[in-house]
Amino acid sequence: MPRALHASALLTLLFALARPASAQVQGPIYIVQTGDNLTAIAARFGTRLDELMAANGFDLAHVLQPGDRILIPGLEGIRGVLTTHTVEFGENLTTLSLRFGLSPEAVLRLNHTVNPERLYAGQELVITQPEQATPPSVVGDVRIERGRLAPQVSGEPLLLTAAKGGLNPWAVVQVNGLLSFADQFAGRTLYLAEGDLPLRAWPAPITEVRFRALPLTQGRTAEAHVESSAEARVQGALASYPLNFAKSDNAWVALQGLPAMIDPGVYPFSIRLQLEDGTTREFGQDVAVASGDYPNEAPLVVNPETLDPAVNQRELESMRAMVAAFTPDRAWSTPFSEPVDTGVTSSFGRPRLFNGTYATYHAGIDFAGRVGREIFAPAGGRIVFTGLQDVCGLATVIDHGWGIYSRICHQESVSVQTGQTIAEGEQIGTVGRSGRVTGPHLHWEVWVGGVQVDPQQWLDELFP
């Protein structure tokens, strides 16, 4: 080897060894947040602490500051600034990849996910954003003008071009009479409705799918919304529960209770639209159910005859049959009101232990009250049952419509009759001490889709 060439090669090697490790390793950038430390950052992105320190030239004495930019090793081939994104309904691995300019493999690597089918609505994903944002008025070879795509020269597939503009490809196809996503549209103008939705994986004519709040919670009411640009009949399911949809304004809405004892985790949600021409459209996505964090209640002592498991099961099955009917008209337009004004003495969902042996949970809320105090309807509806039950005692059950029922327990007297229509605030009976009790009080349950839920939510919120 000539001496000059040998010296040049040696100099190059020395420069390479002298450069900081961060210049030799490529990957995405993370911007340090308040409270971060190197150990937590390494764990979050699935890298080793020593590799993270080496990639950034840090030693054990290095102190992170909010706003510091650090390189994340082990993610070679991925560029940009790391951030988080909450998965929205209709987003899947393909649409997320198109929306953020990442390969499907990169999305899975960033999130240590091996099963792309388990992405669920409300899930927090790690994604990357470019160092410099593309100007919103010009994306690639298309110009965005108030909801209108004006292509200049394009050979891109429709899915990719729509995604780059943050547009719904189903709407592009539908509004412009295209045959499929494979249609090329160079040289023609494509129009979209102004304010179009982001890229979603659901088929037209579905325009919106959402829940009131995510994640869903044990013992609370889930509210699902579906919107369509065409007339359709909507059916669905959440976990193992069929959903009954009713029309409300411009959306189809379903209310469904989640048991207080359902295991926290991820559950399937699906909808099916039957169009007027007889064809159907389907969409499904998992949703998460979080713990209700219900505190334990102090042990209770009651009449042991009311603790017979067979008696309790018989009453539960009787109630499930009673509240199975779905009435299409709802009898409320405001949040529910308290059936008595004496104050809550025991909240919903609390695990209970009766007589030291019988474990269950509180399926309603209790109000203080002396025997004979007046009880009022928490909302309008129709009386579907009055009579004695083993655990509930003298009871009244009200159908409020849309699969929503109230059960009032432990009454001294009942002042309504089965089949009677009542208004909110109308007297239905008086407080007593019948059934499984430790003393006089009123127990109020709300059933939604055949499941007992927290009545306090119905006092605090208006559904839908």
Sign of CA dihedral 176, 179, 180, 185: negative
Q: CA–CA separation, 430 vs 397, rounded Å? A: 14
In angstroms, the CA 55 to CA 20 distance is 8
Q: Can you say whether the dihedral through the CA atoms of 37, 40, 44, 48 is positive or negative?
A: positive
Positions of the chain with pLDDT lower than 70, given as ranges = 1-25, 98, 114, 132-199
| Nearest by Cα to 134 from 159, 164, 95, 102 | 164
| Other Cβ atoms closer than 10 A to 208 | 16
Which one, of 195, 196, 228, 226, lies nearest residue 211 by Cα?
226
Domains in the chain: ranges and CATH: 15-71 (3.10.350.10), 81-129 (3.10.350.10), 138-191 (3.10.350), 206-290 (2.60.40.10), 304-460 (2.70.70.10)
What is the enclosing helix (H) or strand (E) of 271? strand 265-275
As a 3-state breakdown, the chain gives helix, strand, coil percent values, each rounded to 5, of 20, 35, 45
Q: Which two tokens stand for residue 32?
A: 């340090």
Query: How many angstroms separate the CA atoms of 192 and 175, rounded?
Result: 7
- Residue in the structure block whose two tokens are 């450069």: 19
Q: What is the DSSP string of 386-453?
A: EEEETTTEEEEEEEEETTEEEEEESEEEE---TT-EE-TT-EEEEEB--SS-SSSEEEEEEEETTEEE
Structure tokens at 317: 């099955």
At residue 176, what are phi and psi to the nearest 5 degrees?
-100, 5
What residues does 360 pair with on adjacent strands?
352
| Closest to 437 in 3D by CA, of 299, 298, 302, 300 | 302
| Residue 390: closest CA among 288, 310, 286 | 310
Instruction: Tell me the two tokens of residue 362.
Output: 């509180």
Q: Is there a contact between 297 and 352 (Cβ–Cβ < 8 Å)? A: yes
Q: Which residues pair with 332 in a beta bridge?
A: none
Identify the pLDDT of residue 182.
56
What pLDDT is attached to residue 53? 95
- How far is the C-alpha of 377 from the C-alpha of 401, rounded, in Å? 14
Cβ neighbours for 280, distance < 8 A, ≥ 6 positions apart:
272, 273, 274
Cβ neighbors of 290 (< 8 A, separation 6 or more) are 215, 216, 217, 218, 264
Per-residue pLDDT, 71: 95
* Rounded distance between C-alpha atoms, residue 91 and residue 163, angstroms: 12
Structure tokens that stand for 198 in this block: 């982001």
Q: ∠424-427-429 over CA atoms, to 5°?
A: 130
Q: How far apart are CA 380 and CA 378, in angstroms?
A: 7
Closest to 332 (Cα-Cα) out of 401, 398, 385: 401
Instruction: Report phi then psi at 233, rounded to 5.
Output: -105, 130
- The span from the CA of 423 to the CA of 381, in Å, is 7
